[in-house]
Amino acid sequence: MSIDLHDVGVTLAGRPVLRAISAGLTEARVGIVGRNGSGKTTLARVIAGLVAPDLGRARIGGIDLATDRRAALATVGIIFQNPDHQIIFPTVLEEIAFGLTQQGLRAAEAETAARAMLGCFGKTHWAGAATHSLSQGQKQLLCLMAVLAMRPRVVVMDEPFSGLDIPTRMQLTRHLDGIAAQIVTVTHDPDHLHGFDRVLWLEGGRLVADGPPATVLPAFAAQMRDWGESDDLAHLAG
């Protein structure tokens, strides 16, 4: 898929949060890095069609997802930073089946497809489990399965590893490695972007670097270290 961002600007509560972001993203794995408040989540939401740019335009495969919600549901899935903000149903099966019914499947078809998705991850025994009883890592995996069940061509993930212990993170990474969809991952941790094809670095809502991880990540890490060692809090993102 081609994610086309052309001069994207977003203003929230009277403040510019994204400014003149332009990029054509066709790579399979794209990372978005930046400090707290740099605009990463907002850009992820623009790409997922949840936030319409105030300036410029954002399209995926030529479709403007902010105005065509039906196309958005069929094309792109988003996994939020906190799975508790995403999960709404009492059981795992219902949670996965919901998106499928939204896409037009009958209840029985959706349930069959949801069970098949659980099977892909070796989790058929989770079907009747109460969603509130899952650990954070299990909830992240549930959100991933719920999104993948809808067969999106693009998956946007906002800090998918926050709050996960190392084994859970490794398991989730293995699952993600096998996914054919284009993945856009937001993170402030360069270590989470091994094997990625391209990295966008945001600072104060602007794109300050865009290129291969081997170029962008060392520069980003060096700048973060510099600011971390400085006592001048004027560097803090607002």
Ligand X SMILES: Nc1ncnc2c1ncn2[C@@H]1O[C@H](COP(=O)(O)OP(=O)(O)OP(=O)(O)O)[C@@H](O)[C@H]1O
Residue 36 near ligand X by CB under 6 A:
yes
Which residues within the stretch 178-197 sit at the binding site for ligand X (CB under 6 A)?
188
Residue 42 near ligand X by CB under 6 A:
yes
From candidates 9, 37, 56, 163, binder to ligand X by CB under 6 A? 37
Region binding ligand X by CB under 6 A among candidate stretches 9-17, 63-71, 72-80, 148-156: 9-17
From candidates 8, 25, 33, 41, binder to ligand X by CB under 6 A? 41
What angle (nearest 5°) sits at the alpha carbon of residue 13, between those of residues 7 and 15?
50
At 113, the amino acid letter reads A
At 89, the amino acid letter reads F
Choice between 121 and 227, CB closer to ligand X: 227
> Minimum CB separation from ligand X for residue 109, in Å?
36
> Minimum CB separation from ligand X for residue 126, in Å?
29
Region binding ligand X by CB under 6 A among candidate stretches 12-20, 123-131, 133-141, 145-153: 12-20
> Minimum CB separation from ligand X for residue 27, in Å?
21
> Minimum CB separation from ligand X for residue 41, in Å?
3
Region binding ligand X by CB under 6 A among candidate stretches 40-48, 53-61, 128-136, 191-199: 40-48
Region binding ligand X by CB under 6 A among candidate stretches 1-9, 38-46, 107-115, 218-226: 38-46
Choice between 7 and 109, CB closer to ligand X: 7
Name, in order, each residue with C-beta under 8 angstroms of 85's C-beta and a sequence gap of 6 or more: none
Count the site residues for ligand X by CB under 6 A. 13
> Minimum CB separation from ligand X for residue 225, in Å?
18
Residue 221 vs residues 130, 190, 217: alpha-carbon distances, Å? 40, 7, 6
Residues near ligand X (CB under 6 A): 12-13, 17, 34, 36-42, 188, 238
